[in-house]
Amino acid sequence: MTAASPQHARVAKPARRRFLAQRSARSPIAVAGITLSLMTLLLAILGPKLTRADPLNVDLGRQFMSPSMQAWFGTDELGRDLLSRCLSGIGLSLSSALIVTAVAVVLGILVGGTAGFLGGSIDNVLMRITDMFLAFPALVLALAIAAALGPSLRNAVLAVAVVWWPWYARMVRAQVMSVKETAYIEAAEATGVRPARIFFRHILPNCMAPVMVMASTDMGAVVLTTAGLNFIGLGAKPPTPELGAMVSQGRLYLLDYWWVPTFPGLVILFMVLGFNLLGDALRDWLDPQLRGL
């Protein structure tokens, strides 16, 4: 069988992209995931400009206003506009999730990639360290770290990032060990290609597809975990408009003023749903069988 010509490769790539785009357009899950994720990103960037209300402005004359044209999401116990606070909270939650996921991915690649590529005693040491973190439930360990560091949004994000990387390390290690045994890697080693070039040029790119899928799905889990830490008081301090803290403060008024905790909770719901559906869509796009079309 002859190798595909460069012209054929240039034609095949646009055709593959068109096929994936058409396939995604026919998938309600992909459309919903992309739509919700894009809305989250746009609201995080443009949210503060979409309303004139100050999320921190206290107006006791507007306490517990029900949703109306004057305040679409109503107001809370201090008369603060809930729509503006939710829009600001989206930005805080999204930035926190991006930081945690980025730190987890980088640490996971460093630890798992090094362990899988070098093997031997280095692999044993790094994986035993990873197992130490995995021995504790992630949320319990994050609670302990956040409590030790003190309540603040920065400490909550740091606590979640510290406990989130071991899963990436395990997955990257398995991927690296699998790719390392393929014929073209053995051929590269036989021709004298430097180990660093083999790892970064040939092995690591072939391990990134499952990492991207896991990262997109983990964004929703990180949003929930961070919101949970804020809910129990180990995260952002008042009056910071963080979604989990808003639900925590509003739960006291649920029976009489349902909108105070409901709207922040719904925002969290749709953010998590969007990231989870986007992860499912990415899994379909990056499927090796489709990539080979």
- Predicted pLDDT of residue 17: 57
Per-residue pLDDT of 160-174, as tens digits, reads 999 999 999 999 999
What is the distance between the alpha carbons of residues 23 and 222, in angstroms, rounded to a whole number? 29
- In order of their start, the domains of the chain are 40-48+70-287 (1.10.3720.10)
Model confidence at 288: pLDDT above 60: no
List the one residue out of 53, 78, 74 whose CA is nearest residue 63.
78
- pLDDT above 60 (res 211): yes
Higher pLDDT residue, 15 or 56?
56
Mean pLDDT across the chain, nearest whole number? 87
SS3 81: strand
pLDDT at 10 over 70: no
> In sequence order, what are the residues at sequence separation of 6 or more whose Cβ sits closer than 8 angstroms to the Cβ of residue 167?
104, 108, 134, 214
| 28-47 pLDDT, tens digit each | 888 888 899 999 999 999 88
Whether 8 shows a pLDDT value over 60: the answer reads no
Residue 293, pLDDT above cutoff 50: no
Residue 20 binned pLDDT confidence (cut-offs 50, 70, 90): low
**Residue 111 clears pLDDT 70, i.e. is over it:** yes
Q: Write the pLDDT tens digit of every residue in 228-254.
A: 999 999 998 888 999 999 999 999 999
The pTM (predicted TM-score) of the whole model is: 0.85
Question: Within a 10 A sphere around the Cβ of 156, how many other Cβ atoms?
Answer: 28
Given a cut of 50, whether residue 6 has pLDDT beyond it is: no
* pLDDT confidence of residue 223: 94
Q: Is the peptide bond before 239 cis (omega within 30 degrees of 0)?
A: yes
Q: What is the pLDDT of residues 83-105, one digit of tens each?
A: 999 999 999 999 999 999 999 99
* b/e map 111-139, b = 16+ CB within 10 Å: bbbbbbbeeeeebeebbeebeebbeeebe
pLDDT higher than threshold 90 for residue 139: no
Least confident of 98-107, 207-216, 256-265: 207-216
Task: Please state the rounded mean pLDDT for residues 168-191.
Answer: 89
